[in-house]
Amino acid sequence: MKRIGVFTSGGDSPGMNACLRAVVRSGIAAGLEVFGIYRGYEGMIEGDIVQFEKHHVSNIIQRGGTVLKTARSAKFMTPEGRREAHANLLKHGIEGLVCIGGDGSFRGAMTLHEEFGIKVMGCPGTIDNDLFGTDYTIGFDSAINTVVTAVDKIRDTADSHNRLFFVEVMGRDAGFIALHTGIASGAESVLIPETKTYIPELIQQLEKGWRQNKTSAIIIVAEGDDGGGAYEVAEKVKEKFNKYDTRVSVLGHIQRGGAPSAFDRVSASRMGAAAVKGLLEGRTNEMAGIINRQIVYTPFSKATKHNQEINPQLLELVEILSQ
C-alpha cells in the first residue's frame, strides 16, 4: 500500500482535526502518500481530493469542527454515485481509506469495500458515544464539558429566581450526553431514550424537593426522550406542578463546537495512528477504538449494529444523588 485517503463524514465533533492530523503524519512517517478528501462522500464523488503534506495539518489540533468539512451525500446512496467515488479514488491511486465518523459513515465505507474491494478503517467521530468497540468516541468528552459549563450557568439563574429548568441536550437515539452531564451538574433528574419517562413520578420527585426547600431544579432531557423533548415534557409537568417558575433551554449545536478537550485530542490522535497501522497490517472494515486504555479493533458490522449500552449503575447514581 502506497497511497491512502482520509475523510470526515456525518456530524462534526471536537477532536476530528486531531484525528486527521494523526492519520496524515503517521501515514507520512510510514512512507505513505496521504490524500485529504473534502466534504466526505460528496467530495469523493466530485473529486475534491488533495494530497496532504505535514504542513497541511499544522495548527489544527486545537480547532473544533473539521477542516476537511463534512456533507450529506444523497448521490452516494446510489450505485452510480459510488462508482464515481471509486473512479476518483483510482484516479489518485488511493488503495486504502480512513473514515472519521459515526454509524452511517461506517456503513458507507463498508459498502465501498464490498463493491470495490478498497480497504477501509474507521475512527469513531461522534459526540453521542453510541458506537460499540470504544469506551469513548471522539468528541464526547468535549461535548459533555460544554454542556456542564452551560448547565452550571443556568443553575445560577435558576437558583436566583426559584426556577425549574428543563435543559435539552443532543441524543436522538442515545442518552450518554444527558446521563453524564446530569451527574456532573447535579441535575434533579435525567430523561433519556433508553428508559421510559413517567411524568407522574417526575412530578412526585419535584414535589419532594420542594418540600425539602430546594430553591431550584434542573432536569436534563435528551432530545430523543420518549416524553417528547424538553418543551413537551415541561408543558406536561407545568400542568400539574407550578410551584417553580418553569423555563426551557435547548442547547442545540453549541454542543458540537468549540476546542476539543485534552482527553479528546489524545484519544483522537491514538485512534488516527491506529487506523493507519491497521491499514498497513492489511486490516479492513474495522474501527480503531480504545477500551480500558488499550487500542482495539472492532469490525464495522459489530460497531454499527451493537450500540453502547447505558450503564444502569449511572442511572441509579443519578437517582441517589438527586435526593
Catalytic residue list: 128
Distance CA 133, CA 135 (A): 7
- CA 198, CA 179: separation in Å to the nearest integer? 17
Instruction: Give the DSSP H/E element, type plus range, for residue 178.
Output: helix 176-185
CA gap 68, 88 in Å, rounded: 17
Rounded Cα distance, 241 and 205, in Å: 11
Which DSSP letter does residue 24 get? H
Q: Which residues pair with 218 in a beta bridge?
A: 165
Q: Which residue has the cell 448547565?
A: 151
Block residue for cell numbers 482527553: 263
Grid coordinates given for 108: 458507507
